[in-house]
């Protein structure tokens, strides 16, 4: 796997199948968050950005893991 880090953003140019990736729109629907939140998670390096045909894709397994920790209730209990 060939990984590149640019300005502390986690970006990669690895080879993944289309089933292993999802669009930002699919991730927004899956995590039930805004596009801005997805962008913030990408900037913090919690989600890896994969560029395919000049379009951003996210690794499906990372989004599914993020769903587990991001869906935990926040704030006062």
Looking at the domain assignment, is residue 77 inside a domain?
Answer: no
The pLDDT score that the predictor gives to residue 8 is: 43
If you ran DSSP here, which 8-state letter would residue 71 be given?
Answer: S
Are 51 and 11 in contact by the 8 Å Cβ rule? The answer is yes
Q: Tally the domains of the chain.
A: 1
Tens digits of per-residue pLDDT, 40-71? 999 999 999 999 889 999 999 999 999 888 77
Task: Name the residue range of residue 35's domain.
Answer: 3-63
In sequence order, the 6+-apart residues with CB closer than 8 A to the CB of 2 are 12, 13, 14
**Angle, in degrees to the nearest 10, between helices 35-43 and 24-31:** 110
Q: How large is the average pLDDT for residues 3-32?
A: 75
**Residue-level pLDDT at 74:** 67
What pLDDT does residue 18 have?
A: 87
- 10 within a domain of the structure (yes/no): yes
Q: What would the pLDDT profile of 20-38 be if each residue is shown by its tens digit?
A: 999 999 999 999 999 999 9
pTM > 0.95: yes or no: no
Reduce the DSSP state of residue 28 to 3 states and report it.
helix
Q: What is the pLDDT of residue 9?
A: 53
- Would residue 46 count as lying in a domain? yes
């Amino acid at each position: 796997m060939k990984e590149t880090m640019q300005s502390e953003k986690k970006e990669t140019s690895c080879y993944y199948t289309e089933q292993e990736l999802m669009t930002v729109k699919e991730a927004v629907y899956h995590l039930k968050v805004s596009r801005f939140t997805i962008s913030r998670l990408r900037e913090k390096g919690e989600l890896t950005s994969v560029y395919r045909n000049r379009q951003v894709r996210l690794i499906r397994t990372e989004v599914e893991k993020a769903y587990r920790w991001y869906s935990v209730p926040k704030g006062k209990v």
